[in-house]
Structure 1
Amino acid sequence: MLGLLALCDLVTFILAESISRKATYSDMFARTKMLPLAAAAYSNSPELCLANRFTNATVSGVVVNSTCGPTASQELCSGFTAVIHDDGAIAISFRGTEDHSQLIAEADQSLFDRQVSAPVKIKDSVKYV
C-alpha cells in the first residue's frame, strides 16, 4: 500500500511538473520552423515548400479551396498537416487572411459576433474554436 501511495505521489509530481513548465519564445524556432510552415500554407503545393526547408518532412493531408468565414461564398481557406520526422513533430498549418476585404470581414465578425469562453480564460471569436 505504501508503494502505491509513493507511485501516486510520483505520478502527481510528474503531471504537476509538466503542467507548470512554461513555454518560452525562441526566435530561432520561429524563423526556422514556424515561418516556413506558415508560408507553405499559402502554396498550392506545400510539400515543395517543406522539401525546400526540412530534410525529412511529409505532407499528410491538404485542404485547398474550401469555402469558409463570414463571407463564405468569396473566401477560400486552406491548410495542411505534415509530419516533421527529424523533430518528431506533427504540424498543422493554416493560411491566414489574404486581402483587405477578408480582413475587414474577419475583424467585424470578431468584434460583433458571439464570443465563447476558452479554457485559458480568454475570449475569442467562434471561428477559431
Structure 2
Amino acid sequence: MKFNIVNEIKLSYSRKGNSEKFISTSSDAVDVFRQHFDKNEMDYRESFFALYVNQAHRVLGIRKISESGICSTIVDVRIIMQAALLCNATGIILAHNHPSGNLKPSEDDLKVTQKIKEASKFLDIQLLDHCILTSTHYISFADDGHL
C-alpha cells in the first residue's frame, strides 16, 4: 500500500502588546526575564529562556526553552532558532538561572552560548546577550566580554 499524504505543518505567532517594551541594556532584558521566571523556583531548579527582539530592539516575544534539574538544563538550539524565525526576530537575548547562587559561567554555559551564536549568525540573527540570574543578582555575557 502506498500513501501520498504529506503532513501539513501549521505554525502560529501572535503579537499581543509586547512590542512596546524596548531593550537597550542588560538590565532591561533582565527585568523582562524576571517577570517570566518562577520566583519560587529561582533557587530550586534551572530554567532557560530566550527573548526575541526586532531591529529596533523592541520585544517580539519570550519563550521558555527548558527547565530541568538543580544544576543543569538541556538547551536545544533548534527550538531557540525556530521561535526566532517564527516571529521574524533580528536579535536574541538568552537567560538562565543558577540555583546555586554562583554567577560565574560554567564551561557548558560558554559552549552552549557559542553554539547558539554560530547558529544565529548563520541565520543572520544577532545573539545580543546571555544573562545568568540568581534570585538577587545577574551577570551579562555581553557586559562581561563573553560574547
* Higher RCO structure (Cα 8 Å, ≥6 apart): 2
Normalising by structure 1, what TM-score? 0.29
Task: Report the structure, 1 or 2, having the larger helix content.
Answer: 1
Normalising by structure 2, what TM-score? 0.27
